[in-house]
Amino acid sequence: MTEDQTNTRFEGTKLVVETGTETEEFEVEFLVAVLLFSIASSDGEISPIEIEKMLQLVADHFELRSSESIEILNSAVESLAANPDLTVILKDLASNLTSSQKEDVAVMMFKVIAADSREDAKETDALAAAAEKIGISPDLLEAARQRFSAER
């Protein structure tokens, strides 16, 4: 996503980003994986258990085979390496999510943070910033935190 970005739109479940010369398509699953990965890596490291949790969450939530979940997470990692600022895409993702779906995403973010049994302040701050970027209100974030705690 370069500065000459001209158009974003949804076609079914795909977010289509058109620039002057290129068109890229992003599945919602991919965008959620990007979000989870960016939060998990915000403390400077990703533990094997965090990776396992992200794979499980993406596979379970989107009803994917583990190989598909691995492919999506690998693609997310590569995209973040190439373009660490996916804010515009994440905001566009949010515009297509219901409150219930946003709460589901927030619960997944809490699960990734808790996966290694260490709640790092950087990860918590990254979660709050990501939630704000995708339009998760403080009330909805608190509801997700309570749901996460109840599901533990």
pLDDT value of residue 1: 44
Looking at domain 28-151, which of 1.10.3680.10, 3.40.50.2000, 3.50.90.10, 1.20.960.40 is its CATH number?
1.10.3680.10
* The CA-based dihedral angle spanning residues 33, 38, 40, 43, taken in that order and rounded to the nearest 10 degrees: 170
pLDDT value of residue 59: 93
Name every residue whose Cβ is closer than 8 Å to that of residue 16 and which is 6 or more positions away in sequence.
7, 8, 9, 10, 23, 24, 25, 26
pLDDT value of residue 118: 81
| Phi, psi of 11, deg, nearest 5 | -125, 100
**Mean pLDDT value across residues 59-63:** 91
Q: Residues of the chain with pLDDT > 90: what percent? A: 34
pLDDT tens-place string over residues 66-105: 999 999 888 888 877 777 666 667 777 677 788 898 899 9
Give SS3 for 13: coil
Residue 44 pLDDT > 80, yes or no?
yes
pLDDT value of residue 2: 45
